[in-house]
Amino acid sequence: MGRELQKQPQQEMASAVEQLLAVNPYNPDILPDLENYVNEQVSSETYSLDANLCLLRLYQFEPERMSTQIVARILVKALMAMPAPDFSLCLFLIPERVQMEDQFKTLIILSHYLETGKFRQFWDEAAKNRHIVEAVPGFEQAIRAYAVHVLSLTYQKVSRSVLAEAIQIEGLSLDKFLEHQVTNSGWILEKGHGKCQLIVIPPNEFNHPELKKKSSDSIPLDHITRIFPILG
């Protein structure tokens, strides 16, 4: 059945996997289909946390059938889903002995840097391990989107140099990125030149607490744990 699924268009394959999960998610016979679906998620730049968690659970019952390459791809896709807690959910299902392998140690380090807003260290570590992250298309774009998300929760204004470090873009590429953000996200560029130029980020209830609708509303814990190290 795995080969049949692999030949189907992505949408049909997703539907077929969803049906498999609904009928018998603990049937080890569907393991090859779920592995094929991980590869399909990579090639088509789609994502299914439910299917990936199901595969990791099946690996717990069939450890001799575990593919470390597939597990690594699942974790990279989970990193790309931040700020969702998908990476931790997946890691919980991976045996400690597997986590001790170098590629998984690297991914855990990358996750820590992202969670604590240490973007310069993240990009440095990612550059040393391109063979892991570049195997999954769209990785850099997803991380940049997450970095912008964190900056927008943290700052009212951010310098060009801080933004450049967070998203690892400089020069003309950064100019194009800023043009896009100004047009589509309401960013404002203050007068100035070079690295000291300031970018005004649209107000939200996190970078402008006075906009919070109700005093009873609290900032989710995951926001606090990610933002606080940046402010410190």
Phi, psi angles (nearest 5°) of residue 195: -65, -20
**pTM assigned to the model:** 0.84
Residue 136 DSSP SS3: coil
At residue 32 the predicted structure's pLDDT band, cuts being 50, 70 and 90, is very high
Backbone dihedral region of 194: left (phi > 0), alpha (psi from -120 to 50 degrees) or beta? left
Name the least confident of 13-27, 136-150, 157-171, 172-186. Answer: 13-27
Dihedral, CA atoms, 13, 15, 16, 22, nearest 10 degrees?
A: 140
Displacement of CA 86 from its chain's centroid (Å)? 8
pLDDT value at position 83? Answer: 96
Tokens representing 132? 């892991």
pLDDT at 224 over 90: no
